Amino acid sequence: MDFHKESQNDADGASHSEASPADPSMDPSGFLNFDYGMDWQQLNHIPPALPDTIPNDFFQFVTEQSLTTSSEPNRVSSTTPDKPQATAQATPQPAITPEPSMPSPIYAGQKRPYRAVDTPLNQTVFTLVVGGQPFRLSWESLKSDGPSNFFTNYFRKQKTRVMHIDRSPDTFALVVRHLRGYYVRPQDDLQNQDLLNDARYYGLTRLKKMLEEYLYINVGGKVFRLSWDLFKKDGTHNFFYGPLMHSLFAPHGNEAPPVYIERDPDIFADIITHLRGYTIHIKDEVHRKNLLKDAQYYAFRQLTDRLLTAQRTVDGFTEEGSAEVLLQLQDVRMVGLQPPKAACDKPGMEMTCEEWSMSRVQYKREGALHALLIQISNFYLHIHDNTNGVMIMMCRKGAEMKKLDSIADTIKTRGVNERVYLDDACAMTVDDREEQQIKDLMEDERIKPSWEICQKCPGNCRMLKLAIQRAIAGVHVVGENITLTIARLEAISSRLRMNMKREFLPE
C-alpha cells in the first residue's frame, strides 16, 4: 500500500539520519561525538561489549568542556522548555574523588585580579613615584630598615603596587641607597637635614638613628661634622648636649632647618681641637680672651676654667701648707665654690692665724680643692682711726662687687661684711711707695694732708680714703658673713697722685 511505502520511507530516513554524524551546529563542543571504534553503517553488525568502567579522565573532560561551553559569549539560549529525555540504562560509575579547589581560569580579555596578601614575596617589585621620578624596589629592600614603616604599611593595606609621593627625588635617591644596604653619608648640613627629615617622614628608624649619631653644624659659614660623643669630653651640661640636642631630637611636627651659629669658625676649630685631646696654642692675650668668650658661650666649663687667668700657689708658711688658687673676681664660678673647713664665730680681731686659715672658702678646680684668693680692682677703702683703734671699711660699688653677694648666697651665709682685715704680712704700695704696716701709713708725712675728719663716726675720728687700683684678698666665713683679708694692695691716696698716674694718648 502507498501508506505502507511512505511509512517505510520515513523509517528509512530516520534510520539514515540517526546513522549520520551529529550536526556541528547542534553540538558545537563535540560532546555527543563518541568514538568507540564502531561502524554504525553496518546495521546487522553486533557491536562489541563496552568496558565496565569509564575512563579516569572522563569527568574531567566533561567539567572542562562544560565550563568552556557555559562561558561562550555568543551562545543562544532557548526560550522553549526542556523536553523530557529518554532515560538510558544506568551504568555503574566509580566513586568520584573530590579534587582541590583551583582558581578560576583567566580568559582572553579579562584582567587578572590582584590578590592582597599580608606579606608579599621578597622579590615582589613595587614602584614608588617620588616627585615624578619612578623608583623600583623589591619587598625585601622596602622592609630592610624595619618591618613597619611608611612603605610596608601602605602596600599591606592598599591593593596596588604603585605609590606616588610628593617629596624630593634627590633626597629619596639616598633613601633608596640606604634601603638597598649601602652606607649613606650626607655631603653637607643641608643634605643631612633633608635626609633626616625624610627619614622621620618615612618612619625609617635605622636611618634616623644613624644620622643622629653625628651633628652637622654651620659655624660662621664653615660646616663641621662632629660626633655627639665628642661633646661629652667637657661634660654633659653644655650648649650642644643641652638646648641644641633637645631642640633637634624633640618630637615636633615642623621640619627643623639646619643648625647655624654666628660665631668665629677658627675659634670653634680651636675648641674642637681641645675636645679631641690636643693642646691649644694660644697666640696672644686677645686670642685667649676670644677663646674664653666662645667657651663661655658654648658653656664648656672645663675649658673655661683652663682659659681663665688663674695662678696656683702653695702657701708653705702655714702649718698645713695649703694649696691656693688666685682668680679674678668676675671669673669665679659658683659651681666651684666649697664651704670652709671650719667657720669661726669669733670677732675678727680675736681670731688666731690657725682659725683664719681654717675659715677660708675652698674652690674646686680641675678636681682638686684650693683655698680661694680673689683679685679685685677699682674700689675704695676707708681707714678710720679713733680711740678704739683702726678699722678698715670697704665701699662696695659697681657691678663687679656684686659678685661677692653671689658668693655669699652660694656659701649660704647672711651676706658680705663691709669691714675688711689686713694680713699681718700685707704688702702695701701707696703712691708707688711700699708700706710695711698700717702704722707706717698713718705716720707718713706725705699722706697726712689726705686725712680728714670723719662725719659718720661718733667722737674723735679721722678718716683716710684710698683708691685701690687692685688688691688680692682671701675669702673667709666669719660670724656667718663673707669677710675679706687683703694680702696685697696697690692704692692712691689723693687726687694729685691720681692725676700723676694718668697717661697721655699716643699722637
Q: What is the tens place of the pLDDT at every residue in 63-85?
A: 444 444 444 444 444 444 444 44
Q: Assess whether pLDDT exceeds 60 at residue 119.
A: yes
Q: 434 has which bridge partners? A: 429
Phi, psi of 307, deg, nearest 5: -85, -20
Contacts of 398 (CB under 8 A, 6+ apart): 378, 379
Q: Assess whether pLDDT exceeds 60 at residue 182.
A: yes
Q: What is the mean pLDDT of the chain?
A: 79
Ranking 79-88, 145-154, 202-211, 378-387 by mean pLDDT, the lowest is 79-88
Instruction: Give the integer Cα–Cα distance in Å for 484 and 373.
Output: 9
Instruction: Give the integer Cα–Cα distance in Å for 42 and 11.
Output: 16
Q: Is residue 255 part of a domain?
A: yes
Q: 110 has which bridge partners? A: none
Report the pLDDT averaged over residues 134-139: 94
Identify whether residues 195 and 251 lie together within a single domain.
Answer: yes
Ranking 214-223, 373-382, 448-457 by mean pLDDT, the lowest is 448-457
Identify whether residues 298 and 325 lie together within a single domain.
Answer: no
Report the pLDDT averaged over residues 458-476: 90
Q: 365 has which bridge partners? A: 368
Among 462, 486, 490, 489, which residue's Cα sits nearest to residue 348? 486
Query: Cβ–Cβ contacts within 10 Å for residue 248, how many?
Result: 15
Residue-level pLDDT at 202: 93
CATH of residue 211's domain is 3.30.710.10
Q: Are 290 and 267 in contact (CB under 8 A)?
A: yes
Q: Is residue 39 part of a domain?
A: no
Q: Are 126 and 179 in contact (CB under 8 A)?
A: no
Residue-level pLDDT at 362: 93
Confidence of residue 346 (pLDDT cuts 50, 70, 90): confident
Q: Is residue 234 part of a domain?
A: yes
Share of the chain above pLDDT 70, in %: 74
- Signed CA dihedral, 164, 166, 167, 168: sign only: positive
**How far is CA 102 from its chain centroid?**
54
Query: Cell match 683679685: residue?
Result: 375
Identify whether residues 425 and 370 lie together within a single domain.
Answer: yes
Identify whether residues 288 and 372 lie together within a single domain.
Answer: no
State which residues form the domain around 454: 318-501
Identify whether residues 294 and 348 lie together within a single domain.
Answer: no
Beta strand pairing call for 433-435 and 461-478: unpaired
Instruction: Give the integer Cα–Cα distance in Å for 225 and 218.
Output: 9
Q: Assess whether pLDDT exceeds 90 at residue 169.
A: yes
Phi, psi of 414, deg, nearest 5: -70, -40
Rg (CA), the chain: 52
- Signed CA dihedral, 40, 41, 42, 43: sign only: positive
Among 491, 482, 502, which residue's Cα sits nearest to residue 329? 482
Q: Is residue 116 part of a domain?
A: no
Instruction: Give the integer Cα–Cα distance in Å for 264 and 262.
Output: 7
Report the pLDDT averaged over residues 382-392: 88
Task: Among 262, 280, 303, give the residue marking a domain's end.
Answer: 303
Residue-level pLDDT at 272: 96
Among 319, 322, 439, 305, which residue's Cα sits nearest to residue 383? 439
Confidence of residue 459 (pLDDT cuts 50, 70, 90): confident
Residue 43 or residue 205, greater confidence = 205
Residue 3 or residue 416, greater confidence = 416
Residue 177 or residue 40, greater confidence = 177
Element containing residue 278 per DSSP (H, E): none
Identify whether residues 497 and 402 lie together within a single domain.
Answer: yes
Q: Angle, to 10 degrees, between the axis of helix 265-275 and the axis of helix 285-297?
A: 80
Identify whether residues 439 and 292 lie together within a single domain.
Answer: no
Q: Assess whether pLDDT exceeds 60 at residue 101.
A: no
Q: Are 405 and 486 in contact (CB under 8 A)?
A: no
- Signed CA dihedral, 70, 76, 77, 82: sign only: negative
Q: Assess whether pLDDT exceeds 70 at residue 240.
A: yes
Identify whether residues 345 and 447 lie together within a single domain.
Answer: yes
Q: Is residue 208 part of a domain?
A: yes
Report the pLDDT averaged over residues 306-331: 82
Cell (9 digits) for 306: 683652663
Among 280, 404, 272, which residue's Cα sits nearest to residue 330? 404
Q: Assess whether pLDDT exceeds 90 at residue 255.
A: no
Instruction: Give the integer Cα–Cα distance in Å for 352 and 358.
Output: 10
Task: Among 303, 337, 372, give the residue marking a domain's end.
Answer: 303
Identify whether residues 230 and 258 lie together within a single domain.
Answer: yes
Report the pLDDT averaged over residues 103-112: 55
Provide the CB-side half-sphere exposure for 215 (13 A, CA).
22
Identify whether residues 286 and 426 lie together within a single domain.
Answer: no
Amino acid at 89: Q
Report the pLDDT averaged over residues 465-475: 93
Residue-level pLDDT at 75: 43
Instruction: Give the integer Cα–Cα distance in Å for 243 and 259.
Output: 12
Confidence of residue 355 (pLDDT cuts 50, 70, 90): confident
For the segment 20-50, what is each residue's pLDDT rounded down to a tens digit?
A: 444 555 555 555 555 545 554 544 555 555 5
Instruction: Give the integer Cα–Cα distance in Å for 85 and 82.
Output: 9
Identify whether residues 349 and 413 lie together within a single domain.
Answer: yes
CA distances from 38 to 17, 41, 47, 319, 348 (A): 17, 9, 7, 137, 143
Instruction: Give the integer Cα–Cα distance in Å for 496 and 442.
Output: 18
Highest mean pLDDT among 4-8, 191-195, 251-255: 191-195
Q: Are 426 and 488 in contact (CB under 8 A)?
A: yes
Q: Is residue 463 part of a domain?
A: yes
Q: Is residue 31 part of a domain?
A: no
∠ CA 400-404-408, rounded to 5°: 155
Confidence of residue 15 (pLDDT cuts 50, 70, 90): very low
Q: Is residue 238 part of a domain?
A: yes
Task: Among 269, 303, 337, give the residue marking a domain's end.
Answer: 303
Provide the CB-side half-sphere exposure for 357 (13 A, CA).
14
Domain count, the chain: 2
Residue-level pLDDT at 397: 76
Confidence of residue 367 (pLDDT cuts 50, 70, 90): confident
Q: Assess whether pLDDT exceeds 90 at residue 351.
A: no
Residue 355 or residue 150, greater confidence = 150
Query: Cell match 649601602: residue?
Result: 182
Residue-level pLDDT at 93: 52
Residue-level pLDDT at 144: 92
Q: Are 211 and 257 in contact (CB under 8 A)?
A: no
Report the pLDDT averaged over residues 85-97: 47
Q: Are 462 and 468 in contact (CB under 8 A)?
A: no
Helix%, strand%, coil% for the chain, nearest 5: 35, 25, 45
Identify whether residues 354 and 228 lie together within a single domain.
Answer: no
Residue-level pLDDT at 354: 80
